[in-house]
A and B are shown apart, each in its own frame.
Chain A
């Protein structure tokens, strides 16, 4: 199994740097700076310091008793990324990238965002280090994730509305790439998932791997064995890569990635790039993408803004082909039902993204015996979704 990409960022046939020449030297520079940072113990020490004292890590691994009882099968543990500062796993990555940006002498940050969680996490580190920040966000997402727009603005970030295409995450990322070309000398582009051109898929995976590293220690402490199954939702795939990666060589641990099936795969209105897409090239890397027969990218649909993206990180594409990770998809309705179930049974309001992982866990737990253990990555909290859900259900 290939854990690291080749020098040009290829995971097998996937990944790479499919990007305009203007950005190539910049990406090569980011790659070099990242490799140097990895060799420098003071970089890691700084990263760990902020994760512990600022983000509040380690996040707890919580045995969800009432959920376990209700589902009547495997013991279900939740990896509580919702308890992180800013309410999702996204901050792990933005801490890592802002430290790198500072090492590189960049003065300004920019990011794309869908659910607004990555935007908030980037705006937060920009405030923390006194840096200017622009966040590109689709106009539709600005409406459905309004609370996060306000948070970013309070943090001093400029939210740049994107009105092209579907006005969601895909277009926000396209627009961010366009803007970056013009200001790459001074600005560090903080990509929010394990997607985009090399080195982002590797770098973001490494920064998020803290989730899996902690999970491993925590489950060994309480259960003394590795879990049978780990489940995470997959948008671009960063929370999933973060929790999967430290277990990738433990073949006995079944890793399950949950994409958004939207209105149902058969309707064509979904965001399941691996389950229902084809190999293609989008936003700097070769991976599974939703596209038509002429290679035009198709619009994704998911009730959850953070999963509403027609591509996926290239290492996931490789894991899918190798059969190391099992990918499946959960509909809007199933995710909504799980949103309510977790809220009522455990007093935890999950993000709509994470609710997809919960829904899949429910399907799997019932068929497993009571000694077996499932860990679900609860990637974020659902405060940002409350208004949209109330609207949707009224």
Chain B
């Protein structure tokens, strides 16, 4: 494609007039150039039904979410707390499926350039077929996938298919991950690193974990990729604290709760303002 892309410095050279750059890289470059922190927003697709879910996604984008994580609902979300479990159940009850998620991506992509990462568990994608789901996801307009129960050791079955489509496999690092292991995981990582701030499941928490700064700076020794931190962030103040050392903050369960309460636009605005101030 005539692209020479030096990921580590966020610098890219365009040779010729045509180039494709993953929207995730492009977004992080923009954020960096503008000196801003990124807002990664998660919503479960199909919760509570297709129409309302689409409206919520649009609200989040309009409110200033930089990167969208669209949850592919799964019957047994073992890494999720009560909020996302319930959202997944509502979405499945409303008939959401992998192809339904891809349809949603297509509709959102028609109107927005926001990077989209599909977020979910391995089995629905495995069942759909890794090769086919990667091809269809690219065609729909997705930019990457984050599969909670596909750790580094198991990711090799999926990543070649993502690579072929120019999509990114987003790697997770946890507080339990040693620096040595983080190096191994991040050796071929792309897009950004998702640092899980707490040893626990997803869900809004009262306090943000304490030593994010230390963990994030350790991670910087292992990768030049941007670092997003998530799990537990529920309001603007927490987002701002979490973003001190990181490049972006992920908010999920709190957005779902706000959407249910009809206050999604307010929460998105609060977090956006906090991150920008």
Contacts and interface: CB of A to CB of B under 8 A. Distances in A.
A106 B174 CA distance: 21
B56 to A, nearest CB: 22
A388 B75 CA distance: 28
A33 interface: no
B172 interface: yes
A111 B5 CA distance: 49
B9 to A, nearest CB: 27
Given A19-B151, A21-B151, A178 B81 contact: yes
Interface of A: 8, 16-26, 164-165, 170-171, 174, 177-178, 181-182, 184-185, 278, 280-284, 289, 291, 293-297
Contacts of A184: 176, 199
Contact of A281 (B122, B151, B181): B122
A18 B150 contact: yes
B172 A295 contact: no
A12 to B, nearest CB: 14
B148 to A, nearest CB: 6
B221 interface: no
B126 interface: yes
Contact of B201 (A17, A178, A185, A282): A178
Contacts of A16: 153-154
Give 9 closest A-B pairs by Cβ, nearest first: A295-B127, A295-B124, A22-B174, A182-B200, A296-B75, A20-B79, A21-B172, A295-B123, A294-B97
Interface string B147-173: 011111110000000000000000011
Contact of B174 (A17, A20, A291): A20
B175 interface: yes
A205 B32 CA distance: 52
Given A182-B199, A184-B199, A295-B127, A24 B97 contact: no
Given A17-B154, A18-B150, 5 more contacts: A21-B151, A25-B174, A25-B178, A281-B126, A296-B123
Interface string B51-91: 00000000000000000000000111111110001000000
B92 interface: yes
Contact of B123 (A20, A22, A25, A297): A297
17 contacts: A17-B151, A18-B150, A19-B149, A20-B78, A22-B196, A23-B176, A24-B181, A164-B85, A182-B199, A184-B176, A184-B199, A283-B78, A295-B125, A295-B126, A295-B127, A295-B128, A296-B74
Contacts of B121: 281
A283 B199 CA distance: 18
Nearest to A22: B174
A281 B149 contact: yes
B127 A280 contact: yes
Given A21-B196, A22-B175, A184-B176, A280 B81 contact: no
B98 interface: yes
A182 B79 CA distance: 11
Contacts of A20: 78-79, 148-149, 151, 172, 174, 196
Given A20-B149, A24-B151, A293 B199 contact: no
